[in-house]
Amino acid sequence: MDKSHSNSLRRGLAGLLMSFSGTFTAAQPLVESPAPLQFVEQTDWAPFTPNTQGQTQQGLAYELLQLIFSQFERTAQLDLLPLAQVLQRAKAGQADGISVTYLDERRIGYLAYSEPLLLKRAFVYYNPNNPVPAGLLDWDSEKNMHLGVVKNRRYGPLFAQQRTQLPMALVEVDRLEQLFKFTADGTIDGFLAYELNADSLLSQPSYVGKISRMPKPYYEDAYYLAVGRHSAGMALLPQIDKAIGQLRESGQLAQLLKRYGATD
């Protein structure tokens, strides 16, 4: 092999090695996307959740999560469970948070709350075909009234006081639909319920014309998104609050809530 041919071969090998080296240098390491945050919510809570258990992609609670976390390119999944299990998982740190809940001072030790998400209003509902009980019109009436509520629902400090001081026979049930049936057939005089939950039943044919609500709300408060204090979601709370503010300002939050009959 002559000298010129040897030099040419060396140059060719050097060029080939440089091209491989450039290829490896240009390759960028893959960046893994953060794992989805795991939220929980109580099942069968219209319009927030459907009557199913396990992971869901339906209902207002799921859509709120997707809308909020998409503002800063994160994802969230939603599992539906009975309420007791929702609170148990949140307290044990087995979930990153609760998608929609009220601010409860008893849970501040393990939950941190976002900016308010939407308004919640409780109304008194009654049967318009029967004389309106005096107790429903005037809560200071001496007439004993039979009032229904769903167990474990809170209707504000005034109700907590009135339920012990007024002549009231309280009927507590597990499901809101039971209160509709009891009021329609006259078993109770009326019931307290949050409008978002109750209005999903008002339009059912079996209750049209049989259940009405008082014009003024009995109690007003807000719903929040809650994250576990020891979860990955805690570090994201400032971004969650910022996203809620941006969505409220842009009208996107109001647009979503309107589809479900809610207001922010």
CATH of the domain at 131: 3.40.190.10
Domain count, the chain: 2
Dist. CA 225–CA 23, nearest whole Å: 47
Asked if residue 72 belongs to a domain, the reply is yes
pTM of the model: 0.80
Q: Is the pLDDT higher at 141 or at 102?
A: 102
My answer on whether 78 and 150 are in the same domain is no
Q: Quick one: pLDDT band at residue 172, thresholds 50, 70, 90?
A: very high
Q: Do 208 and 94 reside in the same domain of the chain?
A: no
If asked whether residues 186 and 203 sit together in one domain, one would say yes
Nearest to 96 by CA among 233, 224, 225: 233
3-state secondary structure of 37: strand
CA–CA dist 70, 234 (Å, integer): 17
116-137: pLDDT as tens digits: 999 999 999 999 988 776 666 6
* Cβ–Cβ under 8 Å, residues 102 and 223: yes
> Is it the case that residue 144 has pLDDT exceeding 80?
no
Task: Specify the higher pLDDT residue, 154 or 54.
Answer: 54
> Of 106, 103, 59, nearest to 79 (Cα)?
59
Rounded Cα distance, 165 and 241, in Å: 40
The widest CA-to-CA distance across the chain, in whole angstroms, is 119
The pLDDT, as a whole number, for residue 129 is 86
Query: What is the pLDDT confidence band of residue 64, given thresholds at 50, 70 and 90?
Result: very high
**Whether residues 157 and 179 fall in one domain:** yes
Asked if residue 226 and residue 115 are part of one domain, the reply reads: yes
Res. 24 pLDDT band, cuts 50 70 90: very low
Mapping DSSP to helix (H, G, I), strand (E, B) and coil, where does residue 120 land? strand
Per-residue pLDDT averaged across 56-60, rounded? 95
Are 193 and 179 in contact by the 8 Å Cβ rule? The answer is yes
Q: Give the range of the structural domain holding residue 70, as residue numbers without chain letter.
A: 37-119+222-259
**Residue 200 maps to a domain:** yes
Q: What is the mean pLDDT of the chain?
A: 85
Element (H, E) at 247: helix 237-250
Question: Is residue 25 assigned to a domain?
Answer: no
Question: 97 has which bridge partners?
Answer: 39, 227
Question: Does 231 lie in the same domain as 102?
Answer: yes
Return the percent helix, strand and coil in the chain, to nearest 5.
40, 25, 35
Pick left, alpha or beta for residue 213 (phi over 0 → left; psi -120 to 50 → alpha; otherwise beta): beta
Q: State how far the Cα of 5 lies from the Cα of 122, in Å rounded to an integer.
A: 92
User: Is 147 part of a structural domain of the chain?
Assistant: yes
Two tokens at 20? 């491989």
Together in a domain, 85 and 46:
yes
Q: How far is CA 86 from the centre of its chain?
A: 12
Which residues are bridge partners to 149 per DSSP?
Answer: 172
pLDDT value of position 23 = 47
